[in-house]
Every structure is written in structure tokens, then in C-alpha cells.
Structure 1
Amino acid sequence: MNTQKKITGILCFLQCFVLTVLAESLPKDTIFRYLASKANYEEENIPNYDLPNPLIMKNGSTINTLKQWNQKRRPELLRLFETEMFGKAPKHPKDMHFKILTEDKNALGGIATRKEVSVYLTKSDKHYFTVLIYIPNKRSGAVPLFFGLNFKGNHTISLDPGISYPTPEKQKEFLWKRLPPRGIAAARWPIEMLMENGYALATIYRGDIDPDFDDAFKNGVHPLFYKKGQHHPANDEWGTIAAWAWAMSCAMNYFETDKDINTSQVAVFGHSRHGKAALWAGATDQRFAMIISNCSGCGGAALSRRAIGETIQAINQQFPHWFCRNFRKYNSKENTLPFDQHELIALLAPRPVYIASATEDQWADPKGEFLSGVHATPVYEFIFGAKGLDAKEMPPSDTPLQDGSIAYHIRSGRHDITQYDWKQYVKFADKWFRK
């Protein structure tokens, strides 16, 4: 028996060693398939866990008032997520400035004005990312805005020939592939529908900010902020997701200068890994008036302690650049986390937040996403007097819960963002922005 245990232990060690050492050379889809095949998807196999109470401080004292939340607990939670998960980001650079690169007031057959805006991070015009914006032409005054990252370039969200391609130096993610064609992701971006409903849309190609692969943080914004002699973020400093969220906050500075955008009604949204970034952007920048998480899973809306589907260890092995290095301390040790993702949702209070899942997306743990909304509800209700998520049990598929400040639905289908999702987000935004 002892010999068998030793052999099992050695095999487990070798498995982890191989995954860790070869993670950089194996194709990401190969690693994903292996990790997904080994994941737990059964409720009965969830480990025992106790969720931390968002209204109890680390020292054991209870939060009872809005003042205590704002001055004590919220800063404490924010600091914990910064140092142990996402990583600390720098302040906005004082030399940040903007330039409108292109503007077409007759885009999409005349229904929209299209702008491309460069956000520069230094005095020179060398380092920047580009914000693509569509504003409905049929409007009276400033309009609310949906704002999120895209995966493969601004040009992929529409067949609109006026959208610029990423500059060559920003195409690092496509070194071994062709640049994705124009409009390939248009199904995920219902621009015309948003224009018809009176909403502006803005997006940034995430590779303009920091490419989505482990490049030792050489090709994105990180080197602009290294201290003398520094070549890599410290263990508690920003990873890629924090960099994406930080850049979205920088873009908000531009929106505040644009008379066509109602900056008191900006909804930050994201699908999958971009949903994680949207949640963190909303937590760190309270100017975002609404936050939308679409299938954000582990590191997003899903509770880490459930260890269903993608786990902390799996996400750190496949995407070691996403979070700060301190987060690796919690590989297979979810119960030692000083927080869980319901407290990330709580950091958004009292602003409206929408959490969405998909029935075939078990890797993202839909139930864990729903439960984050449930367990964030006491902060909304007790501290702010706002209605949270009005349910204790998951709703049937395609049956949205939108009565409270925390909304939820689980859509039929796979890991994606669809027209159905967007219709719910517009309906939810109408409720809060059209009052």
C-alpha cells in the first residue's frame, strides 16, 4: 500500500512538472483539452468550503454601515484582490493624451458616426492604443455607451471598410497566423441594433494594450512603467487582465472629453477573459455605471472554492500571464484564498451588474457564477438598501432575472456572446439608464 501511494505521488508530481515546464511550448488548445478532460464537473465532488463573509473584516469585526464599508471593508477587499490576484496597476500617466485619428459621420449607411481615437501614454506619440467608437446619429444630446474589449482587432467587429487594422507592431498575437479578416467577429457585435436603440459602442483590441500570450511582459504597456533595472512585474504587480482593465479606465478619461457620450451611463462589458477584465475595471474604477460579465468563469464571476471546471491551478498553468504571480500560491488551495469572487461582485455595489452563463459552458461553472451574485446580495441590500439578486436557486435556461441591481441569466448554448445575450443587456440598461 505504501509503495502504491509513493508511485501515485511520483506520477502526480511528474504530471504537474510536465505541464508547468512545457506550458510555454505546447499549443494552448492542447493544454486546454488536457486540463478540461481532467476537470471535475460533478456537484457531488465539490470540496467542502466556507465562503468568506463580505461584511466581515480580516480582523473579525463586522461592517454595519455605509461609512464602514466605504472607509474600511471596500479598501481592504480591493487591496486583497490587487496584491493576491490581479496585481497592482500604476496610476494613469500624467502625460496621457488623446487624438481623433479618423471620423466618419455617415458610417454604416448613415446611421452612425464612427470615430477612431488614439490614447497616448507618454509625451511622444509612440505608445498608444486605439478606441473604436460608434455613436448613433439619431440622438438628442449625449448617449449611453457599451464599452468592451475585442479579441482579434477592431476591424473584426464589422465589415465596415473604414475601420483601421492594428498596426504591425500590435499584431504580436498573430506572428504564426494570418491577421483575422475584416468582420469575422461581427456576429458578436450587434452595432446596428445598439444604434437603433440609442446606445453608442466602443471597443479596444486587447492586443493594442497587452498581447494575450506569455511574452514575459515585453510587448505591452508594462515596460513603460518598470522601475530602473526592472524587467518583469513584481509578484504583486499587474498581469495582463489588470493591464486590460487599467487601459479601459484610461479610455474612460477620453470618454469624459467626448460631448456625444454620457459618461454617467457607461456600461463596461466583456465575454470570457474579457469578462474578467470588465469586472476588475468596474471594481477599480467606479466611474463605470454598469458592469456586464458574460461567461467570465474562473477569475471572473465563478466562485473559486467550488473547483468545478476551470480551477485556479488550471488557469495559472494555461495562462500564466493573466494574473499576478502571487495568485499561484492558491493553486489547488482555494480554501486558503482571503476572498472569493462574490466579493469581487460586492466591490461593484451599488451599481447594477449583469452576470450571464451558458448551459454548455460547464468549464466556466455557471452555478458558481450565479452563486456569486447570490452571495454578493447582502452588500447591496444591507449596506446600500438596493435589491440584489432576487433568487436563491438558479433559474431555468433562457429565463432572465432582472428585477434587482444584480441580474442573471443562463442561456441555452455554448461559450459565446450572442444576440440573445445582447438583447438582455440592452433591456437591463434601459431599466437603469432610461429611468
Structure 2
Amino acid sequence: MLLVATCVTMHAEELPDVLTAQDGTKIRGTEEWREKRRPELLEHFSREMYGRSPGKPEGMFSEVFDRDEQALGGTATRIQIAIYPGGKPAPRIDLLVYVPNHVKGPAPAILGLNFAGNHAVHKDPGIRLTESWVDQLQPNIPPYPDSHHRATDAARGTNAKQWPVEEIIARGYALATMYREDVAPDHPPYFASGVPELYPELQEREDNFGTIAIWAWSLSRAVDVLEKQERIDSKRVAAFGFSRLGKAALWAGANDERFAMVISNESGAGGAKLFRRGVGEDIQRLNTVFPHWYAKSFRKYSGKDKELPFDQHMVMALIAPRPLYVASAIDDKNANPEGEFAGAKAAEPVFRLLGAEELPTDNWPELNRSVQGGIGYHVRSGGHDVQDFDWQQYLAFADKHLKR
């Protein structure tokens, strides 16, 4: 089935121009982008959508509490690091790292937040069980016996099908992951624990530190820690995220240029898809069902998707010239696959301006075919999930860009 671009793209005049500054100046050079347009876009999205994020906290502390050089049958070194953003004793964020033992020198890494706890990404009994709240009924994750929202051994490996740890290791990449609930709660009361406790003053503002921004901020704090690990090449770290965590990966990559690559897996509304197309999940639903994800200032745009003075192609453009992969699933109607492709295409002018490759097609690709330039994209069969097909494309894209 061939899906053509005329069905999915928007005319340039229908979208706010990513290369026109707020004062009307046309951005024509790299210096103008870096000195003028990029800073004002970061400021605009911080004020109007994601909320204000602090920098690295002065009191942040981390310590390695586990190291096994013969993990996964001897193929990897497992390192577990406790991160205390505000210093001990809490909040505590566990960073789980697997480093391939066959790689000589520092390895490139894929870093992402997970939905069900570090212990759920693999059956490895050495992974510490989270002490944070867990949801026994996560989509695409087999349920396990209710334990009052506390992790038990029964949960080990329940999310493993979305995290092909052995394949990632075999391909020469380290994998680093943290549990979203260690960072910030995704259930009421939304700002009562985790990182939000460190910044109560930021929650009183209209441009408050929203949960998507908090998760994105935590990915940067993980890079702070990985920079100290000799086995990791911290200049070759890719930010990965699925669904709401894909939204966070995009915002992390937009803000923190230390990320060498960004991977968005079905991030949908508030992620890769264009709001102004008016298809799929909308701003009203985001602000009603997930009121904690974005800043309070974003609520004034509810019901105004087609009138936005900004859109998500601008967030993706902030990642340029670093490589960006956007992936969709044909049955994931809320995420609006057509809108995700259109969003990636609309970010191209900045990639072009900065001398990076674009997305090498003008047509929405056939099902289960990956197209890869400086921007990569595919739409696969099936629904909202992370599948082996997705990871095969991400690893091929990483081979192209992170192993140069």
C-alpha cells in the first residue's frame, strides 16, 4: 500500500514558519538560527507549553550501588546507579545501565525512560526492584498479581518485549534506563513526590514545571551521570522514548544538545504529530485527561488546535542538525501517523539550513518500510507499542549516525 504525501502534509502557509523569527526576521544562516531563532523557540515552548525547567541542581549526588561484569551470561556489565537530584535521601532515581563487554573503548548508548520499572525491562534477578508506585495494568504489559502498587519479583521482565536488551548489547550499544515514577508521579496527586518536591516554587507559576518537562529534565541528569562512566561514550548518547515518554525524549533533545540522536516512538500529540491538522488526540484531551503533563499556560489553547501560533515541527527542528527518528503505527489513530510524518517533514528547513540530511522522501512511506536520512521515519503495521521491527530500524539508524 502506497500512501502519498498529498494525503498527509500541510501547505507551508498553513503552519507557522520555523525560520521566521517573532519580529518577522527571516532566518537565513546558521548564526541567526543559533543566536536568535533557536533561543526564542526554546523560550516560547517553555512559557507556553512545557513549563520552566531548572538546570542541574547543585546538590545532586550519585553513587554506584551495583556492578556485575558478567551480567547477561557474560555479554554485558550491569551498572546500577542511584541518582539523588537534591542529595540524599530522596528523591532517588535508579539508573540501570548495561554495557556490551565485546566493545573496545567507550560504547555509544541508548537512554530512555521506562513505563513499569527497571526490573520489568529484563528478568535479570540482579536488578533492584523499585520502591516507587507501580501500575499492574499497563497497556501492552502482561498483568501480574496486585501487590498494592508495589513491585514484586512477579513483575520481573514483564516489559521485556519492548526492550530487546540482548539485541541492543549484541549490536554494540549500551542501554541505560530509568523508571518514570522514580522521577515524577504519573497518577494523582501528580506533584506530591519525586523531583517535583524539590521545586515547589515552580508549581505555583502559570509556566510551571510540567511532568513531560520533568521527565525530559531527568534524561539530562542521567547524561550528567553517564559522563562519569568510562565505559560509556557520553558524546554518543541517543534519547529514546515511547508514547508520553517519547514526548519527553523530544523535549530533552530539543533542550540538551549533548544528546547525539533522538528517537520518538509513537509520541503523538504533544510529541511528533502536528496539532494544526486537527486529527487524533487534541489539546483539550491532553489538558483534561493528563492535566499534569504540560504547564498550566498550555490550557488556554484547549479547543484551538488549528489556531496555534506554534506547532510540534518547531520542537523537532530544535534537534537539528542532530539525527532524529520518528516512528508511527498505522492503527495508532490517537497518535495520528500521518501527522507525525507531516511534523517530521515540516522540520526539514532547519535540518537543511544547518547542513544535515533531510527525510529522503516526499511521500508517506509504504507500511513497514524505513526511510533514513538525517531524519528517519517508518509507519509499521499494528498499534500503539514498541516492537522488534521498530528497534531494528532504530539500531540501523544508530549504526548510520552514532558509529561514524
TM-score (norm 2): 0.92
Deviation string 1:200-242 (CA, Å, 9 cap, x unpaired) is: 0000000000011231411121121224xx8x34110211110
AA of the residue aligned to 2:360: D
Q: CA RMSD in A?
A: 1.9
* 1:28 aligned residue: none
Deviation string 1:405-427 (CA, Å, 9 cap, x unpaired) is: 01100011111111110010000
* 2:184 aligned residue: 210
Q: 1:366 to 1:255 in 2, by over 3 A?
A: same
Does residue 1:267 correspond to 2:238, yes or no?
yes
State the distance in 2 between where 1:70 and 1:183 align: 43
Q: Match of 2:342, SS?
A: helix
* 2:140 aligned residue: none
State the distance in 1 between where 2:29 and 2:398 align: 28
Q: 1:350 to 1:49 in 2, by over 3 A?
A: closer
Matches within 5 A, 1:16-415: 50-167=14-131, 170-171=132-133, 177=149, 179=151, 181-227=155-201, 232-381=203-352, 383-402=353-372, 404-415=373-384
Structure number with higher helix proportion: 1
For structure 2, the 5+ residue unaligned runs are 1-6, 137-146
Count matched residues. 385
State the distance in 1 between where 2:379 and 2:116 align: 26
Q: Is the 8 A contact 2:278 2:306 kept in 1?
A: no
Moved segments of 4+, more than 6 Å: none
AA of the residue aligned to 1:311: D
Q: 1:258 to 1:347 in 2, by over 3 A?
A: same
State the distance in 2 between where 1:281 and 1:140 align: 29
State the distance in 2 between where 1:400 and 1:206 align: 29
Q: Is the 8 A contact 2:273 2:339 kept in 1?
A: yes
Does residue 1:434 correspond to 2:396, yes or no?
no
* 1:19 aligned residue: none
Q: Is the 8 A contact 1:222 1:233 kept in 2?
A: no
Offset, 1:156:
0.3
Q: Match of 2:104, SS?
A: coil
State the distance in 2 between where 1:102 and 1:210 align: 23
Q: Match of 2:291, SS?
A: coil
State the distance in 1 between where 2:113 and 2:227 align: 19
Offset, 1:334:
1.8
Q: Match of 2:313, SS?
A: helix
Offset, 1:152:
1.0
- In percent, how many aligned pairs have the same letter? 45
Offset, 1:173:
5.3
State the distance in 2 between where 1:127 and 1:318 align: 26
More moved, 116-125 vs 280-289: 116-125
Deviation string 1:29-83 (CA, Å, 9 cap, x unpaired) is: xxxxxxxxxxxxxx79x9x982000000112110011110001000111111111
State the distance in 1 between where 2:90 and 2:381 align: 45
State the distance in 2 between where 1:299 and 1:70 align: 24
Q: Match of 1:370, SS?
A: helix
Q: 1:208 to 1:409 in 2, by over 3 A?
A: same
State the distance in 2 between where 1:293 and 1:112 align: 26
State the distance in 2 between where 1:289 and 1:223 align: 30
* 1:20 aligned residue: none
State the distance in 2 between where 1:139 and 1:379 align: 34
Q: 1:223 to 1:353 in 2, by over 3 A?
A: same
Q: Is the 8 A contact 2:61 2:88 kept in 1?
A: no
Q: Is the 8 A contact 2:91 2:194 kept in 1?
A: no
Q: Is the 8 A contact 2:91 2:182 kept in 1?
A: no
State the distance in 2 between where 1:57 and 1:177 align: 48
State the distance in 2 between where 1:360 and 1:186 align: 22
AA of the residue aligned to 1:111: T
Deviation string 1:366-411 (CA, Å, 9 cap, x unpaired) is: 0100011111111111x21222112222011111111x20110001
Does residue 1:417 correspond to 2:381, yes or no?
no
Q: Match of 2:215, SS?
A: helix
Q: Match of 2:287, SS?
A: helix
State the distance in 1 between where 2:287 and 2:271 align: 14
Offset, 1:92:
1.1
